[in-house]
Chain A
Amino acid sequence: MRAQATDPMSLASTSSASQSVQQNSLWWDAFRRFKRNKVGVISLFTILVYVLIAIGSATGLLYPHASQGEQYLPMSWQHPFGTDIFGRDILGRAVHGTSTAISIGLLASSLSLIIGVVLGALAGYFGKKVDAAVVWLYTVVDSVPYILLIPALTFVLGRGLINVFIAVGLTSWVTTARLVRGEFMKHKDRDYVLAAHAIGAGDGRKIFGHILPNVAHLAFVQFGLGFVAAIKIEVILSYLGLGVDPSQPSWGLMIDDAKNELARPFFGNLAAATLFMFGLILAFNLFNDALREALDPKMKNK
């Protein structure tokens, strides 16, 4: 592994300058390391399959709403997970739940990423009063346990898909902000930033054009973690009656339905939602792990 890692260095000395720059870049290195990680590649592939399922179900190509039949049918070829209390096919519900889960994960963690990166960057870059204000803000948000804050927010906003991701997004940016702030403090006086300053780059260009690309790897990992957390929170919100609208398909609602069905005994909802969730979240967890390893400069020589 060591030989492979030093390979681009030897190449750099013999080939043209432009090529060497490309091959030594953090992203290129990370990509090469990631590609070697079989688990990472498989999990990325799994995530893409889920995304396709989500797009398929959202556009109505996969499982267009099936007619309602008898309730609580057992497993069969026609209904692999049976039917629910309203006679809907549970597999279809789980497939449609995929798009709900992915949109919650995507939008909530995008929102938290934007807030976290912008606030962290401003605090780390400008320091002084801006820093004090941002640190104050994230300490306040962090002091309130999320299990109180998120239900409180959805409670105030009302239930519904959009409110779930606003609530999760508004509350989960603290770690990102803290990490980005720390990196910006480290980077703002480095030579490349001074060089940018010397050629007349303004604050905005230095922050977003120069420093941000160098700390963006942190944001990627945080995005993945946020994605997983948002999907898990949706389940808890559904249980508390604060999740998405009950008419919408969601894994959280299916698991919540299951609590009244286990005594029958009927396991369709629980099994389908848990399996679907397990696949997506495990893939994301493994992908995150591989991504973190690939992006960690310390791993270069290991």
Chain B
Amino acid sequence: MIGYAIRRILYMIPILFGVTLLTFTLFNVFGGDPARRYAGKHATEEQVQVIRAELGLDRSLPAQYVYFVKQIATFDYGRSWASKQLISTMITDGIGATLSLTAPAFAASTIFCIFLALFSVYGRGTIFDRGIVVTCLGLMSISSLVYILALQYLLAFRGGLFPISGWDPSWAGRWEYLTLPWIIMFVLSLGPNILIFRTVIMDEAFQDYARTARAKGLAEKHIYAKHILKNAMIPIITVVVIEMPVLISGSVLIENFFGIPGLGGTMIKALNDSDFPVIKAFTVMSAVVYMLFNLLSDLLYSAVDPRVKLG
């Protein structure tokens, strides 16, 4: 298994090479002249030249690419074009805010949805089960933007239950601003989560061991609580771990809407400002996080299921 993990980590190198090539090509080759974009429409040719030299864009494309790769390898992402902040500081600043938004909502939704899915499979074919499936599909048929707009309007603007938007840097004062975003994130994740867990648990409910348990006369409730749930946890863990990068990349729309200074909101701002160094750094960082969690998911899978041998 250790050999497998090492090989997987080594495979991340060509993937990262691809990711850097992709982002570099997108922004530096096809994206037009970044310096001109950055200088604005009314800049003179000299101004553009100055900016180009300042940003290191006067070098050849291969030289710029090598510089970009060097930045990534040394974790020195440089500074934002827009705010002149160090990008590494932007990341460490944003991660706390993002996690305080995503982690509670993610945990609550995962636990709630697993249990609802379990009940749904338990009563499969009944009105209850059909109702849950159709409700999930219905919930997923509305744009996430509509949830944000409607819940913010109803609960904050009209209801006055929560502040409309804002942020408190202290951990203690933060929850007041976060409650509504938590609710929205929770509601948004209900549909997809319940359906995916339901599929996973449904697969287990018809396995041989479940039939054996039924044949030897165990109560159906007992089979679900002890046998099926335990076995279903294996695929559930992999699903949950693969979803975990969302914790870091955050909910872009929610952060942007509620003024939460997290990574997702920073990313949108960078896109609006044509802040290429920030976009590139965030893209590479997300890719690394995604790959690590993917690997973690595979390793966990073999750790909890002795039948799975990674080689």
Contacts and interface: CB of A to CB of B under 8 A. Distances in A.
Interface of A: 136-137, 139-145, 147-149, 151-153, 155-156, 232, 235-236, 239-242, 251-252, 255-256, 258-259, 262-263, 270, 274, 277-278, 281-282, 285-286, 289
B137 A147 contact: no
Contacts, number: 110
A235 B141 contact: no
A145 B249 contact: yes
Given A143-B287, A236-B253, A241 B272 contact: yes
Given A144-B287, A152-B26, A289-B137, A139 B15 contact: yes
Given A148-B283, A239-B253, A143 B141 contact: no
A272 B18 CA distance: 43
Contacts of A145: 245, 249, 286, 290
A240 B143 CA distance: 14
Given A282-B141, A289-B133, 14 more contacts: A136-B15, A140-B22, A142-B290, A143-B18, A144-B287, A145-B290, A156-B30, A156-B32, A235-B143, A236-B253, A240-B272, A258-B149, A277-B143, A281-B142
Contacts of B271: 151-152, 155, 240, 242
Nearest to B257: A259
A255 B145 contact: yes
Contacts of B143: 232, 235-236, 251-252, 255, 274, 277
Majority secondary structure of chain B interface residues (helix, strand, loop or mixed): helix
A250 B280 CA distance: 30
B141 A136 contact: no
Interface residues of B, number: 43
B282 interface: yes
A156 B35 CA distance: 14
Top 5 nearest A-B pairs by Cβ distance? A140-B18, A143-B287, A281-B141, A282-B141, A285-B137
A242 B274 CA distance: 13
Contacts of A282: 137-138, 141
B278 to A, nearest CB: 11
Given A262-B157, A281-B140, A152 B283 contact: yes
B27 to A, nearest CB: 7
Contacts of A263: 157
A289 B198 CA distance: 14
13 contacts: A140-B19, A143-B18, A143-B287, A148-B267, A148-B283, A155-B271, A236-B144, A236-B145, A256-B145, A262-B157, A278-B142, A285-B137, A289-B133
